[in-house]
Structure 1
């Protein structure tokens, strides 16, 4: 007896957005248009984690134009999935790493929802223009996050990710073309340029444009942009022309020319290196995290209050705290790292965003030495490249033989994309940021 399943997609999509999943899966409705899908034993946890999924979709829709795709379904894949999420229309793929049990990684789901407009409805026409997908999506994600969780939460997230991209740009080299928003591949595989740069540098560029025309006009521009380019694939010249025309439509000739004269499109889009203008996302909470980290570096931390303060931090603030230690790694020896680990009870942390950053500190400081048991366990339990590649890099820098042995043990667990990326870091030609 044969069984057939059929599916008809009436909305045009790019071929890279086609995906199929099969397995022992169950579906749970969250809202009028939103669903989660997972293996049966995980469905309660997943449904609870994303109980606000309908709110996320509605807020992103309110900021843009009506949601085109009818329903939104989020599928949790096995732990070997190499990305946080993949925005296939109607069926977002997501890593179980975004389901830690405390709703601290729901911004990944918001990012994938935002792709329903930027990437899925309006698409970059090639990977040189990838920032038109990811920079715009990150912009909408952050606006949605701000409206739901508050301005400070959004700024802390932006600050953490912008620090990450700062390290990535330095690792590539300030003159490396892959640090541009418009990288030229010249036969190199686009995966070699896969980083946070199109996300965060693109986001900063759009925030800068918003600072020139105001938020209301910026949101109106995005709605016009979506309506004008819906169901098409575009490049950066389409964006520049449309933005320039919009500014001339909304402002007097004198004001429009003044606004556009302040935008160095070449420096922002085509030039390599750091963004030409620094966008400030500092908050009191950010400063609190940095001050706490610095108190440990200065050997002035109060044990009781330090633990209380750290436990009050969001996952992103904890990430900023640890990133400050990474940025001052030369000061952090094994004794200091052990003291921080014990004082702040870091062994209790469950979110991968915190765990992978701490493992970098632990390995580089010598607090965690070969054979790197806890790092071995971590990279063997999750395949998300954002987490495992920096940990492998830290192990490689400390003990290459053990790092390679750990990879060999777990290689069959990883997705082919992750295998290639991890193998690349064992080459002298590739640098991976912290």
Structure 2
């Protein structure tokens, strides 16, 4: 009877926590280890692949394994122990195939029972047309224009387009890889420790010797599939000290390493606050401009956009954010994409905690203000009553990429900041350390976090515990599940914010005349400049074109080097329809591949400059990452292409 009750509780837990964005039967059978063997042909943008996978059976009667795939060419599935071929079938999911892929269903050779392990091999092919996780760059798109380049972006659920697997954060796997490349100039890095690189020659079909290089990688800590990453191209690495490294194209490596020379300081400060770093080396790759995100936190191989390289180290908060993921996201992981905030909200909190120690609290308050503004812009786009405007988006029958925004980052940060005010700063630091230790290497949801939080307060806060628990219980559900603004607004006011807003208002009121305090802008840090521009964006209906003309002459904002500032300037330009700066917008969307920037700008272009939107998108399709192309195509559907009559 007790056993039956245990099984019932387990069943109910799984039902409550099921990932709606995977087609795999990960509850009945879970992946333990994934090994890939890839032969890369970057010239043809093609990969010949085999994946060996080990599964643990969790049910009493298992006859099949369902895996997630997206436009993979599956050749054969077989048992490596016997060589026996297993029947497989690709089950098309109809409209879902455009969003989340299909099911690779594998019929097993017999019935397996709980506790058994299954090892099988899958041979398959993939190319640039189907693998939306992979960005293939022609050699002409690199700096040297001599060697093609490959990079991946698996988050959210895009890993299924390069490996057949259980593509869900609920499952963590050991990962190993062997990658062969034909061009000796191509260097390969992947998630994990590089074991060796061997050069050898094979006899090809024409009796000629083909030179190949083999790269091997191993990660001995389990990770979810979305953290698998690869780059391959003409890249080199350079040490920045204390087991930290920068990787980039050779032309940029010295400048990038100098910009990121404080990596050891960031790592040291993070460890002092949250505890030991467990992953080994820390390497950050500055990718080509078509990389679609600001950063991506693969263990031992962080990816970052070149937009963080400004020249004065003011853009490297992204590096600190990605370092924080080594604890929150990579070590403790949100169970599914509705729990994305468990990764990102905690990460923003840690990022700003370290930045406050390095740059001061007022600067961090400006970061929070800018973050809130970006989150609210997303909420307005989604709709203030849409679940995507909550920390717990409903992504059933949707690609979770569609829900990506600053909302879980900022509302999660605000919740943790509020909890810190209740628990107090030093005890809250202890809570965070205990939380990471308790859930180390696990995938969890907000209910597990919630119960742990209440128990921790009950155990550690003495006479204050009950009041704190009551305060938490009062706000928790609304904060996590309710769309729109947080139920309690965190005070982030600072004179830096007021000063920037006053200057922006003076520009509006001057109607094209230069305000007396205009030179203040030249002394602003980037986050204060961002506040200034956001005020103008929020009040764009009051901004005259002459204001932008004079402002551009004074500050030279068109073609501005800091691309975060340039992005906000171009938003303002499009809202006000200041045509004189359109060439700057054109240049920006042709050189910057960051998804969040492009989606907003193409939305504005589609409405205000329809012809340019379609022309510039067609011009830059091959530059953008496949995920970005899909997102922009969906945005432009709102603005049908206008027919220009001669």
Quick check: TM above 0.5?
A: yes
2:504 paired residue number? 293
- Whether the 8 Å contact between 1:77 and 1:93 is mirrored in structure 2 is yes
**Offset, 1:390:** 1.8
Tell me, yes or no, if structure 1 residue 157 matches structure 2 residue 364: no
Q: Which moved more, 1:334-343 or 1:267-276?
A: 334-343
**Offset, 1:388:** 2.0
The residue correspondences of 1:262-411 to structure 2 (distance < 5 A) are 262-263=471-472, 264-299=475-510, 303=514, 306-347=517-558, 349-368=560-579, 372-411=582-621
2:445 paired residue number? 235
| Distance in 2, Cα, partners of 1:190 & 1:347 | 34
Q: Which of 200, 205, 213 is 1:3 aligned to?
A: 213
Q: Which moved more, 1:140-149 or 1:348-357?
A: 348-357
Offset from partner CA, 1:30-51 (integer Å, 9 cap, x none): 0112110111100111011101
2:266 paired residue number? 56
| Cα root mean square deviation, aligned | 1.6
Structure number with higher helix proportion: 1
Q: Could you say which structure has the larger radius of gyration?
A: 2
Offset from partner CA, 1:192-215 (integer Å, 9 cap, x none): 111100100100010011111111
- Whether the 8 Å contact between 2:423 and 2:468 is mirrored in structure 1 is yes
- Whether the 8 Å contact between 2:540 and 2:576 is mirrored in structure 1 is yes
**Offset, 1:301:** 8.8
Offset from partner CA, 1:390-429 (integer Å, 9 cap, x none): 2222211212122111111111110001111111211339
| Distance in 2, Cα, partners of 1:388 & 1:313 | 26
**Offset, 1:300:** 8.0
Offset from partner CA, 1:258-309 (integer Å, 9 cap, x none): 1121121111111111100111111111111111101111118984754421
Q: Which moved more, 1:179-188 or 1:345-354?
A: 345-354
Name the SS of the counterpart of 2:241 in structure 1: coil
| Distance in 2, Cα, partners of 1:18 & 1:202 | 25
1:190 paired residue number? 400
2:101 paired residue number? none
**Offset, 1:344:** 2.5
Name the SS of the counterpart of 1:9 in structure 2: strand
| Distance in 2, Cα, partners of 1:346 & 1:377 | 13
Q: Which of 76, 101, 122 is 2:332 aligned to?
A: 122
Q: How many residues align?
A: 427
Q: Which moved more, 1:20-29 or 1:240-249?
A: 20-29
Q: Which of 468, 476, 479 is 1:259 aligned to?
A: 468
**Offset, 1:29:** 0.6
TM-score (norm 2): 0.64
Offset from partner CA, 1:328-369 (integer Å, 9 cap, x none): 010012112112222233246311111011111112212226
2:248 paired residue number? 38
Offset from partner CA, 1:76-102 (integer Å, 9 cap, x none): 111100001100000001111111222
- Whether the 8 Å contact between 1:333 and 1:366 is mirrored in structure 2 is no
2:308 paired residue number? 98
- Whether the 8 Å contact between 2:245 and 2:283 is mirrored in structure 1 is yes
Q: Which moved more, 1:78-87 or 1:172-181?
A: 172-181
- Whether the 8 Å contact between 1:76 and 1:94 is mirrored in structure 2 is yes
**Offset, 1:149:** 1.3
| Distance in 2, Cα, partners of 1:188 & 1:73 | 33
Structure number with higher strand proportion: 2
**Offset, 1:4:** 2.2
